[in-house]
Amino acid sequence: MSAERTESRYVTVEPDVQIHFWDAGEKDAPALVFIPGLTFSGKVFKHQLEHFSKSYRVILVDPRGQGLSTKCPFGNDYQTHGRDLIRLVEHEGIEKPTLIGWSCGNLEAWSYLEQAGVDSVSGCVTVDMSPLPHNEDPKAWTEGTPAKLSEIMTRTLNHPETAAGFWDSYLREVMWQGPLADEQYEWFIDMSNQTPFWVTHELFGDAILSDYRAIAQEASEKIPTLMFIAEHWADVAEPYWHSLCPKTPTYVMGGHLMAIQYPDRFNRRLETFLTTGE
């Protein structure tokens, strides 16, 4: 990651719990706070830091249990992650940031809005995850059938070896479009391995049982919002999202890791949103 000013920093959000983040750009510029998905570090937004830190203050967060942040036997849930993020923003004296969540980072962004209020931010961008990941409606945008999610929770992510196999296949088959170079694969896996499997297990369980539809709808009505959706499930996800949040525009592109695989296109659409609110 390169910018004229990039700092690797920590903030203590409660006793013995530190949240790590990268901080780049001018400190008095409008702030963009990027939140990664399950097991990932804020480094997954390295291309966004390089691009947007020229005009904005850019914060890349390692959520609790991920990246360089503290690994805790408690607080591995998205209500706590939302509180951690609020404390980070308050500690840094940031007023009305724009939140950009990806995957389970969406849940953290919606949790932040639920607890701090939608008027506490300038806007909210969510990338490729439903606010209700577990839904029995076959027409809904979900992370999988109830039976499949149950199997992942109770028989896959409960052991380090089977959890590693799950992330290997998910990265190769869902997150990335086309062949993944060995060097890039190892970079992602090394990043993911910074999160202990037991933290992943707790966060996954909390994620699939979360329901942030109400706050997503409130945000859609009151502040600028945008949803990015991956191509592989756009035929279901886009109409579902439009029915839930008709005032939030959608943008379909790439796979789940669109921001790092296609950074120029992603950054152009995000730049339009930041400039116009649409």
**What pLDDT sits at residue 3?**
55
- Residue with tokens 């649409």, as numbered in its chain: 278
Q: Could you tell me which of 203, 228, 12 has the C-alpha nearest to residue 108?
A: 203
Q: Are 230 and 258 in contact (CB under 8 A)?
A: yes
Low-confidence ranges of the chain (pLDDT < 70): 1-4
- Count the Cβ atoms, other than its own, within 10 Å of residue 138: 8
- Count the Cβ atoms, other than its own, within 10 Å of residue 137: 9
- Sign, CA dihedral 219-135-133-80, equals positive
Q: What is the secondary structure of 83-127 as a DSSP string?
A: HHHHHHHHHTT--SPEEEEETHHHHHHHHHHHHH-GGGSSEEEEE
Query: Packing angle between helix 182-192 and helix 160-170, nearest 10 degrees?
Result: 140
**What pLDDT sits at residue 1?**
57
Alpha helices in the chain (DSSP H): 46-52, 78-91, 104-116, 146-151, 160-170, 182-192, 197-208, 213-222, 234-244, 258-261, 263-276
**What pLDDT sits at residue 5?**
73
Q: Could you tell me which of 45, 99, 37, 94 has the C-alpha nearest to residue 65?
A: 37
Q: Are 255 and 175 in contact (CB under 8 A)?
A: yes
* Residue-wise pLDDT tens digits, 249-273: 999 999 999 999 999 999 999 999 9
pTM above 0.95, yes or no: yes
